A and B are shown apart, each in its own frame.
Chain A
Amino acid sequence: MQTARQTGWMVVRQARNLMREPIWIAMMIIQPMIWLLLYGQLFSKVTSLRAGAGSYVEFLTPGVVCMNAFFGGTWAGMAMINDLDRHVVDRFLAAPASRLAIVLSQVVRAGLTAILQAIVLLLVGLALGVRVHGGALGWLVVLAAAFLLAMVFAGFSNGIALLLRREASMIASANFVSLPLMFLSSILVATALMPGWIRAIARFNPVNWGVLASRNAVVTGGDWGHSSLYLLFLLAAVTATSLFATWCFRSYQRSI
């Protein structure tokens, strides 16, 4: 209970601080739109990619929502590094702040950002002729997938931040993880078109769980059983990575 309350106040702190950064807000909104427009145009002529969707943009929109969510998640640790450098974390740790709350506040903040971006992307998609075949429930599934996916990687990223504690190392590891995971998923290309070995790996890629759940919701507009299963996988992964990050406080506290 206390952890939940502290998480809430720490999320308020982060959201408020970010709201004071107009450039950050602008980038947060514009960047996902650029992904969607760029990729949508780039591959629009390759009709075989879209696997039954009404258009490539329709196929792509849930993918870009997920790509954007997990990219955002992988960078979430930067805020933790900033707080470590500014000794805000030490200040919390010497007070009765729950370590889980410190991690969860970063994780939830990344998840909420991903939801906002997902809404922007879906609206842009609608303008480009995308139909969410799953209706209101479909929207909900896409937003849930974005929320959970961002949180999975935010937990992981915060753990790495506590282990490495250096900005340059953090940037290197975020890059190291994000591009391979993107190409090992069906963000850009339908699963059926992937080489067998990539398809095999993609099954264990949390990014792909999010993509499949939200693509079901947008393109198929059904198959809720599979979608909710993927969302459950993601929830389990969020739990795992958040606990991992909380455990990483040990390493940090040994070093100070």
Chain B
Amino acid sequence: MDAIVVEDLHKRYKTVQALDGVSFSVREGEVFGLLGPNGAGKSTTVRVLTTLTRADSGTASVAGEDVAKHPNRVRRAIGYVAQDSGVDWEATGRENLLLQGRIHGMAGPPLRGRVDELLELVGLGDSADRIARTYSGGMKRRLDVAIGLVHKPRVLFLDEPTTGLDPEARAAMWEEVERLAREEHLTILLTTHYLEEADRLAERVAIVSQGRIVVEGSPETLKAGLEGESVSVELRETDGRLAPAVEVVRRAVGARDVLVDGQVVRARVPNGGQAIPVILSALESDGFHVASVTTARPSLDDVYLHYTGRDFTKEDKEGGA
């Protein structure tokens, strides 16, 4: 059975079409990633699925229940870790968890036992009785995850779980998500704008862009679907003339997907070995100095570029909240 089924969701805020026909489904026990830049519609999708807001049209069901018709049944079955932490800063970690459990109708020793267990699990055992205001960003985030898990949900929504975390805290969060998927057999819907995060955690990924899903599949399939190799050429002393360099590369090898990342021009070509000499001589004859050249298998970056025709990193920086 599918744990999440989404069909043709549309939602419009005053001037923005946030969802423009989103459809996908997530199998039970699967870690599914919604990948896209800021403002693509990932969080709106999650807010519809967690019953926080309603879609203008389309249907969605979570754990077998329709989100619009039986929101309370959905709420009992899901855990939600929002993009913005929902921790009550003035309460302790333990108090935050106890209240959430009580909202879910838990009480007494089973609740206290579950809270102790979770505090240990997310590594907050020693700080359980400190006011959450004094927690670090990573600790607040781990408390958010524990809050989402207190009632043993069947489906867990993680909306940008590692945004704003330092690399160490991010690595810890990744391990926690992997553990949940492996040991608790939770269905997890994860949104992220980190390509590497989706690549590492998700069994299947849907790429979201401008309120639509442009492609869906396992990271491996998506990357394998792109033929050839990715060639990265690092330039020296470009004086900001990167745009013409992109044109030169594009003309030289007829590559469709070319993008710029800092001083690096990246192109996907059918055969790296044949393309590199052509690219190099074209660049040199136009007065560019090449610092280094590398080839690699296509990444999710390339997948994104291929399916949307846009540069992921650049779009992510320009995007809204």
Contact = CB atoms under 8 A, between A and B. Distances in A.
A93 interface: yes
Contacts of A91: 80, 82, 86, 100, 147
Contact of A90 (B52, B54, B91, B151): B52
Interface string A155-168: 00000000000000
Given A13-B99, A94-B52, 10 more contacts: A5-B102, A9-B102, A88-B88, A90-B52, A96-B72, A96-B103, A97-B103, A253-B53, A254-B53, A256-B53
B82 A90 contact: yes
Interface of A: 2, 5-6, 9-10, 13, 16-17, 20, 86-88, 90-97, 253-256
Contact of A94 (B54, B78, B91): B78
B74 to A, nearest CB: 9
B261 to A, nearest CB: 33
A95 B89 CA distance: 19
Given A9-B99, A96-B104, A87 B47 contact: no
Contacts of B52: 90, 93-94, 253, 256
Interface size class of B (residues with CB under 8 A): 20 to 34
A254 B48 CA distance: 11
B170 interface: no
Nearest to A96: B75
Contacts of A20: 90, 131
A88 B144 CA distance: 11
A17 B105 contact: no
A96 B84 contact: no
B192 interface: no
A255 B53 CA distance: 8
Contacts of A93: 51-52
A16 B76 CA distance: 27
Contacts of A10: 99
Between B52, B147, B151, the greatest number of chain A beta carbons within 10 A of the residue's beta carbon is seen for B52
B50 interface: yes
Given A87-B85, A91-B82, A253-B53, A96 B76 contact: yes
Contacts of B75: 94-96
Nearest to A254: B53
Contacts of B54: 253-254
A256 B104 contact: no
Interface in B76-127: 76, 78, 80, 82, 84-91, 95, 99-100, 102-105
Nearest to B100: A95
The 9 lowest CB-CB distance pairs between A and B, nearest first, are A91-B86, A17-B90, A94-B80, A96-B75, A94-B50, A87-B86, A87-B84, A97-B103, A9-B102
Nearest to B11: A254
A16 B129 CA distance: 14
B91 A95 contact: no
A90 B50 CA distance: 10
Nearest to B90: A17
A10 B103 CA distance: 9
Contacts of B51: 93-94
Contacts of A90: 52, 82, 84, 86
Nearest to B153: A95
Interface of B: 13, 47, 50-54, 72, 75-76, 78, 80, 82, 84-91, 95, 99-100, 102-105, 131, 147, 151
Given A13-B91, A16-B95, A17-B88, A87 B82 contact: yes
Contacts of B82: 87, 90-91, 94
B203 to A, nearest CB: 24
27 contacts: A6-B103, A10-B99, A13-B88, A13-B99, A16-B95, A17-B91, A86-B86, A86-B87, A86-B89, A87-B85, A87-B86, A88-B88, A90-B52, A90-B86, A91-B80, A91-B86, A93-B52, A94-B51, A95-B75, A95-B80, A95-B104, A95-B151, A96-B72, A96-B104, A97-B103, A256-B47, A256-B53
A10 B90 CA distance: 13
B53 A95 contact: no
B95 A95 contact: no
Between B75, B103, B105, B151, the greatest number of chain A beta carbons within 10 A of the residue's beta carbon is seen for: B103
A93 B48 CA distance: 12
Contacts of B86: 86-88, 90-91
Nearest to A250: B54
Nearest to A86: B89
Contacts of B50: 94
A254 B78 CA distance: 21
B80 A13 contact: no
B141 to A, nearest CB: 13
A254 B54 CA distance: 7
A16 B91 contact: yes
A92 B53 contact: no
Contacts of A92: 103
A253 B78 CA distance: 18
Contacts of B80: 91, 94-95
B68 to A, nearest CB: 12
A87 B91 CA distance: 14
A185 B90 CA distance: 37
A2 B75 CA distance: 15
